[in-house]
Amino acid sequence: MTDPAAPPQTTRVRRCPICNKPRVEAHSPFCSTRCRDRDLVRWLDEGYAVPGPPADPEMDN
Ligand SMILES: [Zn+2]
C-alpha cells in the first residue's frame, strides 16, 4: 500500500553513532567504512571481548 501523502523518509533519518552524520545504508549503522573501523578499534582498545560486532537494536532489515 502506497500512500502518496506520506511524509518523506528524511524526517526520520538515522545518524552515525560516531560522527552523527546521516548513516549510509551500505555501512549501516555508520556513515562510512572509516566510522565503522573507528568504532571497531574503539571497542578493541577498551578491551571488550566480544565475539563479533555489537547488536544494533535499530537494525532494520
Ligand atoms: Zn560517521
**Vertex 52: Cα angle to 27 and 22 (nearest 5):** 20
| Each residue's pLDDT tens digit, 10-61 | 557 789 999 999 999 999 999 999 999 999 898 888 775 656 666 677 766 6
Return all residues near 12 (Cβ < 8 A) that are at least 6 apart: none
Contact 40, 51 (CB under 8 A): no
Binding residues for Zn(2+), as ranges, are 16, 19, 31, 35
1: CA distance to ligand 1 center in Å? Answer: 33
The H helix count followed by the E strand count for the chain is: 1, 0
Residue 14 grid coordinates: 538515522
The pTM for the full model equals 0.52
pLDDT for res 46: 78
pLDDT for res 10: 54
CA distance 41 to 59: 21
> Which residues have CB less than 5 Å away from ligand 1 (the ion)?
16, 18-19, 21, 31, 35
pLDDT for res 59: 65
Domain ranges of the chain: 14-46
